[in-house]
Amino acid sequence: MQSWTAARIAHEVTTRATSAEEIAGEALERADVYDQIQPQAWISRVVHERVLAAARAVDVRIAAGERLPLAGVPFAVKDNLDVAQMETTAACPAFAYRATTSATVVSRLIDAGAVLLGKTNLDQFATGLTGTRTPYGALGCVFNRSYVSGGSSSGSAVVVAAGIVPISLGSDTAGSGRVPAAFNGLTGFKPTRGRWSTRGLLPACRTLDCVTVFATRAEDVAIVDAVLAAYDEADPYSRPLPQRGPQFGECVRIGVPRSDQLLFHGDPESAALFESATERLSQLRGKVVEIDAAPLFEASTLLYGGPWVAERTAVLSELLQRSPEAIHPVVRAIVQAGRGLSAVDAFRGFYALQ
């Protein structure tokens, strides 16, 4: 679906070669068709007429001379991001609440001309990397549904990989914006923490969370980043943008684990693909450098085996007290462990991470 990209849609709507309403109608048709395959990709859909009305509003703005970088681009958001007047469930019906305002990133996409189709499935409370820990139904990979889609941003990856929308928003604490992208052949972009606002994102680990984007092409990711990268004074974790970042075409250093630290669990095809990707990076003006990844592996164990679990517990403490059975048993086991952690454990974790 190379033509179904944010860049091309925005160009054609801006030049009035097509209309945002026509694009929205096609996206709705694609969503309806894919509902026959994996309806569980969505937790909630915006009703057709509201989608078309939003698209018509974009066409009016274009006719008035507005420059919209995402004019008419259909998009979806993971259902741990707030959308005004829609429920945020985080894949737990007992936790659901109706949002009164939209997350900053959602509002910025709409302001840039994007048209929302709906909210997507996820590993409950963004806790998991498989896409199976959800009462709304596990999602399979778009290439072979016998394989997992990856998570926690499972639905957001699937609706892009299936060609329903060219971009979607997810979130990433431990890999949720990159694992499902890799499993479904997409580009998953996790910005530096604080580059995009997390206001309106239901926290998993608030000090670590990032909003992410899924797309089929890096060009679309760059457009989204240009729209979303901004300081948000209402987000205490937001940071001013640097004056200058790496420029396209510059030689960049790319770290890969030492060969003795690469783990492929008996899968020679994955090993060969990794080697091929490393060689390609070297050809694309990248300097591949072997690093000792042991400290990174140790740091990663702190996320689920250390005091950062308590951040997840803090979000769900009331639900754990009131209706623990409403939480997926695997997720419940993870977040309940946070009750046994102390401030001393937290400080020891900070020291270990540093």
Q: Kindly write down the DSSP assignment for every residue of 102-169, as one continuous string.
A: --HHHHHHHHTT-EEEEEE--SGGG--SSS---TT-PPBPSS-TTSB--SSSHHHHHHHHTTS-SEEE
Residue 56 has pLDDT above 90, yes or no: yes
**Shared-domain flag, residues 142 and 285:** no
Candidate list 149, 152, 153, 238, residue with the active-site label: 152
* pLDDT tens per residue, range 165-196: 999 999 999 999 999 999 999 999 999 999 99
Dist CA 6 CA 70 (whole Å): 7
Domain boundary among 263, 292, 321: 292
pLDDT at res. 252: 82
Least-confidence region, from 45-59, 117-131, 206-220, 274-288: 274-288
Angle made by CA atoms 181, 185, 186, in degrees to the nearest 5? 50
331-352: b or e for each residue (b if 16 or more CB lie within 10 Å)?
bbebbbebeebeeeeeeebeee
User: Is 336 within the bounds of a domain?
Assistant: yes
Count of beta carbons in the 10 Å neighbourhood of residue 109: 25
Is 10 part of a structural domain of the chain? yes
Number of neighbours of residue 143 by Cβ within 10 angstroms: 12
Q: Is residue 235 part of a domain?
A: no
**Residue 249: pLDDT above 50?**
yes
State mean pLDDT over 91-102. 98
Report the pLDDT value the prediction gives residue 248, as an integer from 0 to 100: 54
Active site residue 270: no
Residue 168 and residue 131 in one domain: yes
| Average pLDDT over the chain, rounded to an integer | 95
Active-site position among 149, 154, 176, 238: 176
> Taking a C-beta distance cutoff of 8 angstroms, is the pair 172, 208 a contact?
no
- Tokens 């949002």: give the residue: 99
Q: What is the pLDDT of residue 261?
A: 96
The CATH number for 349's domain is: 1.20.58.1700
**156 an active-site residue?**
no
Give which of 240, 228, 213, 219 is closest to 108, Cα–Cα. 228
Alpha-carbon distance of 13 to 52, in angstroms, equals 14
Catalytic one of 19, 78, 197, 238: 78
Domain, as residue range, for 257: 252-292
Tell how strand 286-291 and strand 74-78 pair up. unpaired
* 1: confidence class by pLDDT, cuts 50, 70, 90: very low
In 185-233, where does DSSP find H-type helix? 218-228
Give yes or no: residues 221 and 111 share one domain.
yes
**19 and 89 share one domain:** yes
Q: Give the global pTM.
A: 0.93
Residues 271-322: tens digit of each pLDDT: 999 999 999 988 887 889 999 999 999 999 998 889 999 999 999 999 999 9
CA distances, 166 to each of 3, 39, 44 (Å): 9, 18, 18
pLDDT reading at 74 higher than 80: yes
Q: How far apart are alpha carbons 175 and 196 in whole angstroms?
A: 17
Query: For this structure, is 78 an active site residue?
Result: yes
Are 268 and 196 members of one domain?
no
DSSP H or E stretch at residue 269: helix 268-283
Q: Assess whether 125 and 220 both reside in one domain.
A: yes
